Structure 1
Amino acid sequence: MSADLRKMPTGFVRLWSAQTISSLGDGVTHAALPLLALTLTRDPMALAVVTAAGTLPWLLFGVLGGALVDRWDRRHTMWVTDAARAVLLATAAAAAVFDVLSIPLLAAVAFLLGLGSLFFDTAATAYLPDLLGRNSALLERANSRLRGAQTAMSGFAGPPAGSALLALGRAVPLFADAVSFALSALLVRSLPAVPRPATQARESLLRQARAGAAYVFRDRLLLGLALRPAVGNIAFTAVGTVLALFAHDRLGISTYGFGLLLTAEATGGLLGAAIASPLGRRLGTGTALTCTAAIEGLAILGLAAAPNPYLAGLALAVCGAAMGATMVLAPSLRQAIVPAHLIGRVTSTSRMLAMCAAPLGAFLGGWLASTSDVRTPLYTAAGLLLTMTAITASMTSNRRVEAALRAATPADGPGQPESEDPVRQGVPELV
């Protein structure tokens, strides 16, 4: 454990440890699940069903899930969710041992894991600002550590471990991930309690969900923070859809080389997470976010024009670094300025917008590649990212960020007004 991490509150160290362990398990399952499906069928549509099942919970229940998290105790939600995922994967491992695995069963496992991710990630995002006293500097440091650990475990260590464990038996990677979730549940259960924000429990869940979505769309800063990942997901999914084909046909990269290309992006992500806080302090969070968004667009433009694998890898590393910094700065800012009783719904609304955009990007990338050229989706993605940067630059300016931080209350105590109408709650109408 680094000396810098030891300076963080003890509760955060436990949360970091829990998420590091479960991220390793996630990486194992991320590699093993599609390979398990491949042992059962060669039908591309059946394989696509397993992959798509994991994203459906965010599309179907994203905002309602955030409303539930805002009603429930966040720490309790996290450890119960991880315990449930441990039982789920242990059951799937048993099915593998008894040779009763099937595509419908794997799709159900992927769906329920995705549902668990919805509740755990939203609850963890809502819990962290209360744990750290809504201190924006601490939140940036904490999110940097969490993002770095997640990238290292799920992006580097987990996938090769999943492939290696699968060679030992179909049940082994599933059981390993079950153990990771069980350990995470035990660590999360030991976290300190934080005050539970007051909510209007007598109001309908749907009305509370609408209040959370309205809070995002009425605040230009939060809307800008939500639009960037939504448009970004269209662009990056369009790139991801044709990246393997582009690498093979235009760059002459082998299967092994393609893995190295993706590793370059993940390496950049680690660097970006590490430099996010210093970058935010030097430029201001708003300017830093605009710069990282512009760098993403320019990096994808460089990838599209890359004449060889080395420049393509450099472009992806730069893009990964910008994305890594963004994924630290934007959530930290959101956690610092959104009231505790709304953070679950605001987070899930933003995440749902991004998840809904991904299928559009996949269709766009495939259509452009088939009707034009394999580089066309990359150039289009770069144009989308740079246009989005220009549109949202004023929405997430340093002036707006500083005003929002000044207006944010240090914490929402039990006496928080119970009205769920975001206008009556004083949502800033920044125009």
Structure 2
Amino acid sequence: MTASRPGRDFRLLWSATVTSRFGDSLRTPALALLAATVTRDPRVIAAVTVAGQVPPLLLGLLGGVYADRGDRRRTMALVDGVRAVVVAALAVAVALDRAGVAVLVVAAFLLAALGTFFDAAAFALLPSVVPPEELPRANGRLQAGTAVAGGLVGAPAAGVLFALSAPLPFAVDALTFTAAALLTLTLTPTPVPPPDLRRSCTFGRHRTGHKRHKGDHNCKIAGKGAGAGVRFLWGERTLRGVALVTAGSNLAISGLIAVLVLYALEVLRVPPVGYGLFAATAIVGGVAGALGAGRLAARLGTVATLRVVLVGQTVALTGLALARHPVPGGLALAGFAAGGAVWNSLAVAYGQRHVPPELLGRVGAAQRLVGMVTAPVGAALAGFAGAAYGVAPVAGAAAVVFALVSVAGWWALRPRSG
């Protein structure tokens, strides 16, 4: 199958997303650097990080409801416009030397909270921009673009800009949010189904009398409220399996990420000057995986590719846990990141293709909430275990957990029978 040329609306959406991601990659490390200049208390610095992690857990489902109640294009533009104002205000506070700890915590919380509304609307908007068969490739292109803009361009530039002038990365971020909002407004308006619609849907097992039978059936999904998205996610077998596997794998992945720098320096013997290059292998692998996701899905099928990816990532993570040299460790990390990019692209695309349009925002929000809820647990467990037993056993434990999740995922994503 030959790759089709993306349409005007997708090019605009891609440009807006990548521009916004570039700004994020400037602001996030600059915020950490700014916190370190305000205080050296690790508890306070951690509070800034936590302030940016809590809103998706608290407001994720609400963001999905809002995304299903209006023009998703305007929602994204409005959110980016408000984020531009918040970051511009932060830049002014930094320039005036008024950016204390409270200001940083509030800014991190507000930006993350607004991001939950943007993510829900973006997830629901893409299916109206590209045809269903192009969703795997479109998601891959979005992932590849944001990885390059964020990891290969933005992150290295953040430290340079901050060193030149502390307010500079925040001012640039405000400009990128403004540009992204204007690009999003130029998208072709698309109709949104009424939020109070009740839709007959098809999924899972059905009940006749008091017995359950395999097969498809009609079920009523209420159109109002965040619970509609949760109910649909839980009732569709494959969507439920993808969400639970994502949650289980994130438990292992977040634990690995929490100790990755120490594992690279102490176990793989990566020289400190070469750590940036080692970390870049993950970005390169992720870009390659994102660009190849659509081709794999076209050849094997979306769900079959997800099952194969689990096996490949298990092999790669096991190789990383066994590696004792930077080269095989870097190759294993690149392979694992490539699989992660394929998984993320195709998991999103599957949901976008199989969820009713009026529920896209809420189901997408429910998927993200389930997937991310285990991440802080994995990071915390890895921190305690690393302090007690060393980082090498943590990497081994992450590989074991991921292997168990992969076995469960292989079964959960099995083809339907009957």
TM-score (normalizing by structure 2): 0.90
The alpha-carbon distance between structure 1 residues 54 and 357, as it changes in their structure 2 partners (threshold 3 A), is same
Residue among 134, 139, 159 paired with 1:138? 134
In the alignment, the residues of structure 1 paired with residue 273 and residue 223 of structure 2 have an alpha-carbon distance, to the nearest angstrom, of 48
How far does residue 393 in structure 1 lie from its aligned partner after superposition?
1.8
Report the residue type matching 1:182 in the other structure.
Answer: T
Q: CA RMSD in A?
A: 2.0
Report the residue type matching 2:33 in the other structure.
Answer: L
Report the residue type matching 2:396 in the other structure.
Answer: Y
In the alignment, the residues of structure 2 paired with residue 239 and residue 368 of structure 1 have an alpha-carbon distance, to the nearest angstrom, of 11
Residue among 339, 345, 365 paired with 1:328? 345
In the alignment, the residues of structure 1 paired with residue 224 and residue 390 of structure 2 have an alpha-carbon distance, to the nearest angstrom, of 46
In the alignment, the residues of structure 1 paired with residue 270 and residue 395 of structure 2 have an alpha-carbon distance, to the nearest angstrom, of 17
Report the residue type matching 1:363 in the other structure.
Answer: A
Report the residue type matching 1:332 in the other structure.
Answer: A
SS at match of 2:188: coil
Aligned partner of 1:198 in structure 2 is 194
Q: Spell out the pairing of 1:12-411 with structure 2 (5 A cutoff).
A: 12-133=10-131, 135=132, 137-200=133-196, 208-397=225-414, 399-400=415-416
Aligned partner of 2:215 in structure 1 is none
How far does residue 253 in structure 1 lie from its aligned partner after superposition?
2.2
SS at match of 1:194: coil
Q: List alignment gaps of at least 5 residues for structure 2.
A: 199-221
In the alignment, the residues of structure 2 paired with residue 390 and residue 329 of structure 1 have an alpha-carbon distance, to the nearest angstrom, of 19
In the alignment, the residues of structure 1 paired with residue 223 and residue 353 of structure 2 have an alpha-carbon distance, to the nearest angstrom, of 25
Report the residue type matching 2:370 in the other structure.
Answer: L
Deviations 1:362-409 (A, max 9, x none): 122123223333222212211221211211223323x34xxxxxxxxx
Report the residue type matching 2:318 in the other structure.
Answer: L
**Could you tell me whether the CA contact under 8 Å between 1:64 and 1:206 is conserved in 2?**
no
SS at match of 2:151: helix
In the alignment, the residues of structure 2 paired with residue 219 and residue 209 of structure 1 have an alpha-carbon distance, to the nearest angstrom, of 16
In the alignment, the residues of structure 1 paired with residue 264 and residue 293 of structure 2 have an alpha-carbon distance, to the nearest angstrom, of 29
Deviations 1:274-295 (A, max 9, x none): 1111111222211211111222
Report the residue type matching 2:379 in the other structure.
Answer: A
In the alignment, the residues of structure 1 paired with residue 17 and residue 242 of structure 2 have an alpha-carbon distance, to the nearest angstrom, of 24
Q: List alignment gaps of at least 5 residues for structure 1.
A: 401-429
**Could you tell me whether the CA contact under 8 Å between 1:236 and 1:381 is conserved in 2?**
yes
Deviations 1:76-118 (A, max 9, x none): 1100000001111110011011110111111111111111211
Report the residue type matching 1:113 in the other structure.
Answer: L
The alpha-carbon distance between structure 1 residues 52 and 199, as it changes in their structure 2 partners (threshold 3 A), is same
Deviations 1:26-64 (A, max 9, x none): 111122110111111111111111111111111111112
In the alignment, the residues of structure 2 paired with residue 192 and residue 368 of structure 1 have an alpha-carbon distance, to the nearest angstrom, of 51
Moved over 4 A (4+): none
**Could you tell me whether the CA contact under 8 Å between 1:31 and 1:160 is conserved in 2?**
no
**Could you tell me whether the CA contact under 8 Å between 2:19 and 2:176 is conserved in 1?**
yes
TM-score (normalizing by structure 1): 0.88
In the alignment, the residues of structure 2 paired with residue 51 and residue 183 of structure 1 have an alpha-carbon distance, to the nearest angstrom, of 26
In the alignment, the residues of structure 2 paired with residue 253 and residue 62 of structure 1 have an alpha-carbon distance, to the nearest angstrom, of 38
Q: Percent identity?
A: 37
**Could you tell me whether the CA contact under 8 Å between 1:71 and 1:201 is conserved in 2?**
no
Report the residue type matching 1:23 in the other structure.
Answer: R
